[in-house]
Amino acid sequence: MAEERGQGVLVIGAGIAGLTAAIEAAEVGVPVFIVEKEPYLGGRVVRFDQYFPKFCPPSCGMEINFRRIKANPLIRYFTMAEVVEVKGMEGDFQVKVRINPRYVNERCTACGKCGEVCQTEIPDPFNYGMKNIKAAYLPHEMAFPMRYVLAPEIIGTQEALRCREACPYGAIELEMAPVTVDLRVASIVVATGWEPYDATRMENLAFGKAPNVITNVMMERLHAANGPTQGKVLRPSDGKPPHTVVFCQCAGQRDENHLRFCSRVCCSATLKQVQYVRKQYPDSQVYVYYIDLRALGRNEDLLSAVQADPNVHLIKGKVARITEDPVRHDPIVEAEITASGKISRTMADLVVLATGMMPTTAQERPSGIQLNCDEDGFVLDAAGVYGAGCAKKPMEVSATVQDATSAALKAIQSAVRR
């Protein structure tokens, strides 16, 4: 696959940004290589239950995107892979990609026999550890590629041998070692996305200590029919339905000590999640503490819908401290109400922290690649290397798709220019 000179595009990251950039470029007729660190394509969005403002499932658009990939021989993708070296310049980059062992080869039919015999369980990364899964697993029900993974934890154990024995298709290869692939491309799209900001870093908000204080990304899994609670929003401590739910906006965002910027999406995401709660529990009471409610563009309709609900209380104020009742694990939210200057105290059943988007590149950058980043770690465009989606700026899904389509054009221009 290494060509004389690169004509194609390397896309790092296969979330909605990377997939879009890759597919859009390939449908123009350009060869594309996708490098994804997870064992599946789809990134962060496949862990969302519904998109705002339509309350529609991300898997619907993903199905189309995966079909486009399957139908297009110009797209090659590598999962469990990372870029380890980049040399050259715009028009001709030489790239080394390391593919880490999955211990399952392409003969896998996802028949599930290995999972049936495997007894070891590991925390499910797809569900943010909110449940356990077998160590021989399909990353999630609708995973693409639909191929199992063996967790490295069981390699070298009897368990792994049992899994291999159970496979009727010779798909389990315990000797699998990392493989390095050389690529030559004209340009690179960096679509490494975002990580939820680590909520344990805000000690006053009790995340990680009080079980009924969760983050907005966990809320998505709780509401998902294929999540740990089969789609019922339940308290992690006791599995009971919540009555009073508090959303805490800007949990780290717009804060010099954490994320200086606004993540742009969290207000709309909360307005969506408020409706998750209200639709499941008609008697529930919901409180939202915010600095500003930023429902941009047509998402204002989401805000109007929530404002019309008498059981939702939108309060300008800052959550100062969350503690919990040590016996019942009910979170107690203390907030400074802007209008009165007073401190309010709310006994809640569940607290959702609207944590922000931290660019993945703020913590780890693809090694061997000279990336231009701003102070917050967001990728800046350079000759032949283009950011796409949340690697570049915080943005919602539709803006990400728009931005990634733009990145696809820039990547193609690099190939034309050389």
Partner 1 sequence: MDRKIGAYLCTGCAIGDGLDMEQLAKVAKGDCKAVLCRTSEMLCGPEALALIKQDMASEGINALLIAACSPRAKTEAFCFDPREVLVERVNLREQVVWSHRQPGTEAQKVDEDVQMMAEDQLRMGAARLQNMELLVPYSEEINKRILVLGGGVTGMTAALEAAKAGYEAVLVEREAGLGGFAARLFKQYPEAPPYRELEEPVWERLAESLKRESRVSIHCSSSIERIEGAPGMFQAFIRKGEEVIQEKVGSIVLATGFEPYDPNRLGHLGYGKSPNVITTVEMEDLARAGNLSRPSDGGKLQSVAFVLCAGSRDQEHLPYCSTVCCMTALKQAMYVREGNPDSKVFVFYKDLRSPGQYENFYRRVQEEEGVFLSKAQIVKVEPQEDGSVLVEVEDQLMGERVQVKVDLLVLATGMVPRTSLGEEAKEEPKEEAPDKKQDIASQLLIPTRIIRSNTLNLAYRQGPELPELKYGFPDSHFICFPYETRRTGIYAAGPVRAPMDVAFSQEDARGAVLKAIQCVELTAQGKAVHPRAGDMSYPELFMQRCTQCKRCTEECPFGMYNEDEKGNPLPNPTRCRRCSVCMGSCPERIISFKDYSVGMIGSMIKAIEVPDETEEKPRILVLACENDAYPALDMVGIRGGSYNPFVRIIPLRCLGSLNLIWIADALSKGIDGVLLLGCKHGEDYQCHMAKGSELANYRLAKVSETLDRLALESSRIRVEQIEISDYHRIPSIMEEFLETIQEVGPNPYKGF
Measure the CA dihedral 151/157/163/164, to 10°: 110
The three-class DSSP label of residue 331 is strand
For 135, phi then psi, to 5°, come to -75, -10
CA distance 116 to 134: 9
C-beta of 52: minimal distance to partner 1 in Å? 8
- Angle (CA) 90 94 100, round 5°: 130
Q: CA–CA separation, 129 vs 62, rounded Å?
A: 23
Interface with partner 1 (CB under 8 A), residue from 263, 270, 275, 355: 263
Asked whether position 110 contacts partner 1 by CB under 8 A, the answer is yes
Between 141 and 180, how does the x/- string for binding to partner 1 read (CB under 8 A)? xx---x---------------------xx-----------
The yes or no reply on residue 191 touching partner 1 (CB under 8 A) is no
Q: Is 377 in the site for partner 1 (CB under 8 A)?
A: no
Q: Does residue 345 interact with partner 1 by CB under 8 A? A: no
34 interacts with partner 1 by CB under 8 A = no
Task: Work out the angle between the directed axes of helices 397-417 and 16-26 (0-180°, nearest 10).
Answer: 40
- C-alpha pair distances (Å), 44 with each of 9, 207, 309, 361: 22, 21, 30, 15
Which of the residues 308 through 337 are near partner 1 (CB under 8 A)? 316
* DSSP characters over 345-360: EEE-SEEEEEE-EEEG
- Our CB check for partner 1 shows the closer of 17 and 352 to be 17
**6 touches partner 1 by CB under 8 A:** no
User: According to CB under 8 A, which residues from 347 to 376 bind partner 1?
Assistant: 374-376
Which span (64-72, 192-200, 280-288, 361-369) binds partner 1, by CB under 8 A?
64-72
What is the closest distance, in whole angstroms, from the C-beta atom of residue 157 to partner 1 in the complex? Answer: 26
Told to check if 401 binds partner 1 by CB under 8 A, we report: yes
Cβ at position 210, least distance to partner 1 in Å: 28
Q: How far apart are CA 417 and CA 398, in angstroms?
A: 29
Extract the runs of DSSP E, i.e. beta strands, from 46-158.
75-78, 81-89, 92-99, 121-123, 132-134, 136-137, 149-150
Binding status of residue 340 toward partner 1 by CB under 8 A: yes
* 27 and 209 Cβ atoms separated by less than 8 Å: no
* Number of residues forming the site for partner 1 (CB under 8 A): 84
Q: How far is the CB of 353 from partner 1 (least distance, A)?
A: 19
Q: Please select the residue that binds partner 1; options are 270, 299, 346, 360, rule is CB under 8 A.
A: 299
Piece of 7-15, 187-195, 338-346, 363-371 that binds partner 1 (CB under 8 A): 338-346
